[in-house]
Amino acid sequence: MSTSTLPNPGLGTFRLKGDTLKRVIHEALALGFRHIDTAQMYDNEQDVGAALAESEVPREDLFLTTKVWHDRLAPASLKASVRESLEKLGTDYVDLLLIHWPSPDDAVPMADYLTALREVQQAGQARHIGVSNFTNAQLDRALEILGPEALLTNQVEVHPFLQNRAVVEHCQARGLTVTGYMPLAVGRVLEDATLKRIAETHGATPAQVALAWTRARGVVTIPSSTKRDHLAGNLAALDLELSDGELEAIAGLERDERIADPDFAPAWD
């Protein structure tokens, strides 16, 4: 699967709710975004659905992603949760359905929940399926269970301070698109001297440089913002071309600074 299957960039909606989220979605769609990323755990699927219902953008032109939370991985619960998500989102299908986190301590066997995920896809409720926060070993297990071309993406944390090279390279070698979340490291990229210097060279912002670097690695990104000018800047960042020297300088910013690391996370690569 190529990154063209997943529109880049997407609009991340973590921590956005209510009227703020609806406004952001309307502004993003007006600017040209067509990929909206949500999740059961974000508790905003209903707001996403309401905003999309108000939009004049046809459903078939949108790419909508949601994710099953780890407490709904038992097969019957997973399928029920997807029906609930679709009802909240006001749609018959999502374009991409992800397992948000692998089952903590394998409480639900991977074969059980991935088989249920595929059955949801076969029932027409998800165009594509994928995983999120899977280690390389877990991804390999998943592909053994479902087959080498079953999964579209592994969505993982990727930003200049956590470049996740081993996972990105492994996924890409296995034919998966990597979706990188928290691409701006919750705003920390804005203060980095190297990113600021590169940004000045291009008449851009450090955030745009971080997003351009992500694109240069073949990673789809889903930044979040509540400001229209930042949304527009996130789109424009995909046209920014960085030199080899600039990419090398950003590669040197790696410091294993993981932001999303809950107590139920797997043993990271």
Separation CA 168–CA 172 (nearest Å): 6
pLDDT of res. 40: 98
> In the structure, what pLDDT confidence band is assigned to residue 2 with cuts at 50, 70 and 90?
very low
| Per-residue pLDDT tens digits for 240-258 | 999 999 999 999 999 999 9
Residue 40 included in any domain? yes
Residue 196 included in any domain? no
The mean of the pLDDT values for the chain is 97
Enzyme catalytic residues: 42
| Per-residue pLDDT tens digits for 78-134 | 999 999 999 999 999 999 999 999 999 999 999 999 999 999 999 999 999 999 999
* SS3 at position 247: helix
* Domains: count for the chain: 1
pLDDT of res. 4: 61
Domain containing residue 26: 3-184
All residues at 6 or more sequence positions from 85 whose CB lies less than 8 Å from its CB, including other chains: 40, 45, 66, 68, 94
All residues at 6 or more sequence positions from 17 whose CB lies less than 8 Å from its CB, including other chains: 42, 43, 44, 47
As a dihedral over the C-alpha atoms of residue 209, residue 215, residue 220, residue 224, rounded to 10 degrees, the angle is 10
Residue 88 included in any domain? yes
Residue 108 included in any domain? yes
Q: Take residue 93 and report the two structure tokens written for it.
A: 């299908």
pTM: 0.97
| Per-residue pLDDT tens digits for 19-44 | 999 999 999 999 999 999 999 999 99
